[in-house]
Amino acid sequence: MAVTKCLRISPLLFMMMGTLAFLAASCSQTAFAQDEAVLGELKKLVVHFDRVTPDVYRSGLIPEEAAPLLKELGVKTVINFDNDDERAQKEAAYLKLFGIYTVWIPWSGWDRPRDQDVEKFLSLMREPRLKPVLVHCKRGSERTGVGIAVWRISEFNWTAAQAYDEMKHYTYRRFLQGHLKRYVYEFARKHGESTARITNGFEQMKTSLFYFFFQLRKLNPFWHRHSRV
């Protein structure tokens, strides 16, 4: 009798399970469509805005009108590499209004990032409670490109070449800022990729000369006015 009763109930259970599965799938599709719509709006508003992984985004400077869209997308944390303090403070203020936490790690794209800043960035990227996270600088190309590159190498075992290809996709200025490519290759070599080297002799010479030139410019008292890129 018990078996017969179970058999009679089973179709009802299957119907309920099917209904729940359908509702869950419908909600998931609706949420995905909403996210894609918000993502499209942000790509119009914010230079180089893009999704890197499901919980990591990248971009250039964030205009104030983008803040509510970031909130709608679910972004919890913004990591800002922009080295303009006034601009960074203003951005942090309007993001805070929408409950978005900002971490400021300023450095100039004309220079190499400091090791301690890179370690701080990677430790933040490893923290699940901070995600979804948005990483950005001024253009969303050079400094953001380096940040995402070292994260890819450190956490996903990407090669330097793979990480560099992604940098180029976001209009990385390889001629002027070749020192950042060199930094990424050196980072990969330190993390076990022994073959990560720039073999083009002309590129090495050009990179060294440009980097030396920009280091000399630091002696100029007006340097800070021209280094915010």
pLDDT tens by residue, 140-167: 999 999 999 999 999 999 999 999 999 9
Model confidence at 180: pLDDT above 60? yes
| Percent of the chain predicted with pLDDT > 90 | 65
The pLDDT tens digits for 182-208 are 999 999 999 999 888 876 655 556 566
Q: Would 25 be classed as within a structural domain?
A: no
CATH number at residue 70: 3.90.190.10
pLDDT of residue 3: 47
Residue 137 annotated among the catalytic residues of the structure:
yes
In the numeric block, which tokens belong to residue 133?
């996270």
The pLDDT tens digits for 71-117 are 999 999 999 999 999 999 999 999 999 999 999 999 999 899 999 99
**Domain total in the chain:** 1
Residue 6 annotated among the catalytic residues of the structure:
no
Residue whose tokens read 């009679």: 8
List the catalytic residue out of 35, 55, 84, 111: 111
Q: Would 23 be classed as within a structural domain?
A: no
In the numeric block, which tokens belong to residue 21?
């599965």
* Helix%, strand%, coil% for the chain, nearest 5: 60, 10, 30
Asked if 66 contacts 45 with a C-beta cutoff of 8 angstroms, the reply is: yes
> Taking all residues of the chain, what is their mean pLDDT, rounded to a whole number?
85
Q: Would 120 be classed as within a structural domain?
A: yes
The SS3 call for residue 56 is strand
pTM to 2 decimals? 0.79
DSSP class of residue 139?
Answer: S
Which domain, by its residues, includes 167?
31-226
Q: Would 75 be classed as within a structural domain?
A: yes
Sheet of 50-53: strands edge to edge?
50-53, 56-59, 133-136, 77-80, 101-104
Q: Would 86 be classed as within a structural domain?
A: yes
In the numeric block, which tokens belong to residue 127?
């923290």
pLDDT of residue 195: 87
Residue whose tokens read 């729940």: 20
List the catalytic residue out of 6, 117, 137, 165: 137
| Residue 83: φ, ψ to 5° | -100, 20
